[in-house]
Amino acid sequence: MNSVVRYINDIYKGVISLWAGMRVTGKYFISPGEIVTEQYPENRATLKMEERFKGEVIMPHDENNQHKCTGCGICEVNCPNGSIEIITKKVPNEEGKMVRAIDKHIYHLSMCTFCELCIKTCPFNAITWGQDFEHAVFDRTRLTKVLNKPGSSLKKKEVKS
User: Among 23, 90, 142, 149, which residue sits at the site for another protein (rule: CB under 8 A)?
Assistant: 23
One-letter amino acid at 65 equals N
With contact defined as beta carbons under 8 Å apart, do 127 and 118 qualify? yes
Using rule CB under 8 A, residue 82 touches another protein: no
Using rule CB under 8 A, residue 60 touches another protein: no
Q: Which of 69, 154, 147, 140 is nearest to 107 (CA)?
A: 147
Using rule CB under 8 A, residue 50 touches another protein: yes
Using rule CB under 8 A, residue 46 touches another protein: no
Q: What dihedral angle (degrees, nearest 10) is formed by the CA atoms of 62, 68, 73, 79?
A: -60
List residues binding another protein (CB under 8 A). Answer: 11, 13-14, 17-18, 20-26, 28-29, 32-37, 39, 50, 52-54, 78, 80, 113-117, 120-121, 129
